[in-house]
Structure 1
Amino acid sequence: MADEKLAKLKEAVGGLAQISENEKSGFLSLVARYLSGDEELIEWAKIHTPTDEVVVPYDTLESPPEDIEATKKLLDKLAVLKLNGGLGTTMGCTGPKSVIEVRNGFTFLDLIVIQIESLNKKYGSNVPLLLMNSFNTHEDTLKIVEKYASSSIEIHTFNQSQYPRVVADEFLPWPSKGKTDKDGWYPPGHGDIFPSLMNSGKLDLLLSQGKEYVFIANSDNLGAIVDMKILNHLIHKQNEYCMEVTPKTLADVKGGTLISYEGRVQLLEIAQVPDAYVNEFKSIEKFKIFNTNNLWVNLKAIKRLVEAEALKMEIIPNPKEVDGVKVLQLETAAGAAIRFFDHAIGINVPRSRFLPVKATSDLQLVQSDLYTLVDGFITRNSARTNPSNPSIELGPEFKKVGCFLGRFKSIPSIVELESLKVSGDVWFGSGIVLKGKVTITAKPGVKLEIPDGAVLENKDINGPEDL
């Protein structure tokens, strides 16, 4: 039955003119693996907590030599790659998420460019920036990148693969059933980065420039900056792959974690956990760390493994309903590749290296006085004594960036805030200070305005009378 399905699918995919032969074969091999059902199940009893040799504590890394020439030598072996395939739809934006303004009028992409420029300027190095787009973000990104034409850094863009969504009940590619617009296709997750680097020619280009490592991170993670201690460690220890992990908090219980399994280091995702062990997986006692998706990978190793077709990462089936049609997308994650590389390690980094902006509540954190911006780098305010950030929950009125910005005359001071929960039609004046635990709830149909200069400490506000 599976063979019949695959043969029918193969024939239909052969007729799709919109994608390359590489994309067709990548897609079909993913489907063949999915249909074969031979995904290895994790045996819970074989899971071990990794030792400090496998997940290295960041504070045990040696500091690299301070002199400029030695640092330049290290940097000349590095390229930076940002995953730029995501749209800002969850935050109400239409284009690539990386062009949302983060702070002082700068977008994610502006900050990334400024950071690399200041590194290259300081050390006389040539660290290039690569952006992996999806077909959703490709055209917009090309236009946006034009504004950096006079920049001193080399910027490369390339696309990740474009695979056809499969119509679930017939198991045929949706574009061959007449869905030829963008909705008929999908980008197959960031695990696709390795074949896409190779197929685009960018991998060979980097190798020809003497690059040895690529630092991969999500474009919306403001903490993912080049770290000389990590780069120095990997070059000296010849680790082919490094995943940055950081201590779990209760907000991260679903994040993938590193385990030692049958003598190798492996990423364990919640989707792979048998139902009986999900609560154990979510506990922060046994699984203390999670994957930040900041990855450092050796370029020659990528080439070797892609050519050998050895990167068979766990398949993530993603069923969706689009325009009333049930479709299936098969995806992979870059972190899951860790088990195929030699001398792969994790490094347990400070939480400051994980500062993603997934929602407007995250945007409020990075736009507030909790952070300052210097040379494109976001730095945490030392006046905040609590090592963890305040928890912020904003109602649906704040979900879209435009609405969020419109409801604040200026972003309140939150250095001493523990938690903030806002619901209903709430508007903030300027110069407001929030401390401790604050809850603001506007009653249905009532516009609640927090006046300029208000100081709210451990307050529960349900109307103007509580101010």
Structure 2
Amino acid sequence: MDKSAVEVVETKLRKMNEAVEDRNEQMNDKEMKGFLQLYNRYMVGRSKKQQIEWDLIQQPSDNMLQRYDSLPKPQKSEEAALLSKLAVLKLNGGLGTSMGCKGPKNVIEVRGDTTFLDLIVQQIEHLNITYPGANVQLLLMNSFNTDAETAKIIQKYQDTHVTITTFQQSRYPRIIKESLEPMPVTHEGYAHQDWYPPGHGDFFEALYNSDLVESLLAQGKEYLFVSNVDNLGATVDLNILKNIVDREVEYCMELTDKTRADIKGGTIISYDGKVSLLEVAQVPPQYIEEFKSVSKFKVFNTNNIWVSLRAVKRIMQANEMKLDIIVNNKEVAGQKVIQLETAIGAAITYFNNACGVNVPRSRFLPVKATSDLLLIQSNMYNLKSGSLVMNPARQFGTTPVIKLGTEFKKVAQYLERFGSIPDVLELDHLTVSGDVSFGANTTLKGTVIVVANPGNKIMIPAGSVIENKVVVGSLHVIPH
């Protein structure tokens, strides 16, 4: 891209940024530099788009993708020393709006009145009490959307055995799709809602700019375990930690077996002799079906990442990291815009001795919708020291597939439609659509499909046991 064009964009952006009265709502110099580098790479890349060469893709070697059950277990005597090298970081930039909730997603109640963040703090406190001297710290990477509210929330953890540190990821301006210039606004400067957080790939730059890398290294911390705040399966695992310490792995990605519901998830490959992440957006159109197949690409990225702090420092100091740009199309106030984002998984190619571990599905329990929430809140799981453990009474190793219709989309609607969370221990599949309500103490077994046609209503009475049934229309089901 022409240097003068970048300078024009920078001048315009700086003027709008300086017009923002509240300094906390402005981009700082490091964010400005980061955005302009990303923007410049995007503009250059538009005319020089490179597609992946499909013939160069190979399945990862056993060294690149290890099986979890092959990892050595640490001796009891070394567990505390391993944990003393670790800090835990949660990606905490998301709001609960997609589930009809206000504020950060971390405050959604997932087990009784216990929130995502409550469970995370319980997990880490349990480690610090069990292993005196480990002092596993909790870091939260907030976005400007969640930072202020999270600062208030974490005050309630002051008396726990957990040190909590927050920092904020970057704020970038959206780009008008037609003109490809940073989005102008109707007022003179940017307001809170005019910015966007540029994806979790920003983690590396935001962490480095916060000076936390140096601080953690000075405290003897060597590794970070990074995961999404809403993945309740992402707990500290000593087997994985021992493996990366013993093998001096700089970056380790957790992947789990793919099902037909996970066909769009990124997967680990060997590309030109180096470990890489292959995302669906990189796949040439003629190979999309092959990519989605569970026979060739058997695992997908859970976004549970273990990373060396020394390696992050080295790479960021050298300004080596140029992550693949994800173009996210949006519409804001009737204006078509794009957001330039990056993903943390794409960074795997920049680290030495990087690898993946094929972990059990139990380490991937994200809550993206009320369908996930129903499973998490059910008797499918028991709660132990903040961690969800599958109920031993469940006779199968897999969890049921649950699909709830739009009437259940918001948490408040979802809660109104269940007198209590059903017994799902023997459930394989549940699909619910339309105006459907469940009474208290219901039991669902096998495959259950309940569909209320438009304008009709179905009420499942309290105490009902429904097994391998399709219920359609408008009716009250008589309990057994």
TM-score by length of 2: 0.94
Aligned to 1:7: 7
Contact 1:164 1:175 in 2 (8 A): no
How far off its partner does 1:364 sit? 0.3
Map residues 68-217 of structure 1 onto 2, 5 A cutoff.
Answer: 70-124=78-132, 125-175=134-184, 178=187, 180-217=190-227
Contact 2:459 2:476 (C-alpha < 8 Å) held by counterparts: no
Deviation at 1:4, TM superposition (A): 5.0
**Partner of 2:103: helix, strand, or coil?**
coil
**1:349 — aligned with what?**
359
**Per-residue deviation at 1:300?**
0.7
**Could you say which residue in structure 1 is the equivalent of 2:240?**
230
Shift of residue 172, structure 1, vs aligned partner: 2.4
Query: Unpaired runs of 5+ in structure 2?
Result: 19-25
| Deviation for aligned residue 1:14 | 3.0
Match of 2:342 among 332, 345, 349: 332
Superposed displacement of residue 202, structure 1: 1.4
**One-letter code aligned to 1:99:** V
SS at match of 1:63: coil
- The alignment covers a number of residue pairs equal to 465
- The 5 Å alignment of 1:232-311 reads 232-311=242-321
Residues in 2 aligned to 1:345 and 1:444: alpha-carbon distance in whole angstroms: 50
Deviation at 1:461?
Answer: 1.1
Cα distance in 1, alignment partners of residues 55 and 127 from structure 2: 46
- Give the whole-Å Cα distance in 2 for the aligned partners of 1:265 and 1:248: 19
> C-alpha deviations, 1:110-139, integer Å up to 9, x for none?
000000000000001200000000001111
The range that moved more, 453-462 or 174-183, is 174-183
Distance 2:191 2:424 in 1: 45
Q: Which residue number corresponds to residue 34 of structure 1?
A: 42
CA contact (8 A) 1:393 1:421 kept: yes
Indicate conservation of the 8 Å contact 1:410/1:430, yes or no. yes
SS in 2 for 1:459: strand
Aligned to 2:156, the other structure's residue is in SS state helix
Which residue does 1:423 correspond to in 2? Answer: 433
Kindly report structure 1 stretches of 4+ aligned residues shifted beyond 4 Å: 1-4
RMSD: 1.4
One-letter amino acid of the structure 2 residue matched with residue 166 of structure 1? I
Q: 1:170 corresponds to which letter in structure 2?
A: S
How far the C-alpha of 1:43 sits from its partner, in A, is 0.2
Residues 146 and 46 of structure 1, relative CA distance in 2, 3 Å threshold: same
SS at match of 1:172: coil
1:402 to 388, 412, 415: 412
Asked if structure 1 preserves the Cα contact closer than 8 Å seen for 2:459 and 2:477, the reply is: no
Q: 1:254 to 1:54 in 2, by over 3 A?
A: same
Shift of 1:416: 1.0
Is the contact made by 1:12 and 1:172 (CA closer than 8 Å) also made in structure 2? no
Letter in 2 for 1:257: T
Alpha-carbon offset, residue 94 of structure 1: 1.4
Note if contact 1:83-1:190 (Cα within 8 Å) is conserved in structure 2.
Answer: yes
Give the C-alpha shift of residue 87 in structure 1: 0.6
The residue matched to 1:346 in structure 2 has which SS?
Answer: strand
Report the equivalent of 1:49.
Answer: 59
**How far apart in 1 are the matches of 2:186 and 2:80?**
54
Letter in 2 for 1:93: C
SS of equivalent to 2:320: coil
Question: Which structure 2 residues correspond to residues 424-439 of structure 1 after superposition, within 5 A?
Answer: 424-439=434-449
- Structure 1 match to 2:475: 464
Separation in structure 2 between the aligned mates of residue 156 and residue 40 of structure 1, nearest angstrom = 39
Deviation at 1:395, TM superposition (A): 1.2
Distance 2:33 2:271 in 1: 30
Q: Secondary structure at the match of 2:76?
A: coil
What SS class does the counterpart of residue 174 from structure 1 fall into?
A: coil
Alpha-carbon contact 2:9-2:182 (below 8 Å) kept: yes
Counterparts of 2:54 and 2:168, CA distance in 1: 37
Q: Letter of the aligned partner of 1:26 in structure 2?
A: G
Shift of 1:90: 0.9
8 Å CA contact retained: 2:458, 2:476: no
Question: Distance in 2 between the 1:50 and 1:411 partners?
Answer: 42
* Identity score, percent: 53
For residue 463 of structure 2, what is the aligned residue in structure 1? Answer: 453
- Secondary structure, counterpart of 1:343 in structure 2: coil
Counterpart of 1:27, as a letter, is: F
Counterpart code for 2:37:
S
1:304-358 deviations in whole A, cap 9, x for unaligned? 1111111111000112111011112100000000000000000000110000000
Distance 2:49 2:253 in 1: 23
Give, in whole Å, the separation in 2 of the partners of 1:430 and 1:346.
Answer: 43
Offset, 1:466: 5.3
Distance 1:307 1:40, change over 3 A: farther
Counterpart pick for 1:363 among 356, 370, 373: 373
Q: Retained in 2: the 8 A contact 1:432–1:454? A: yes
AA partner of residue 85 (structure 2): K
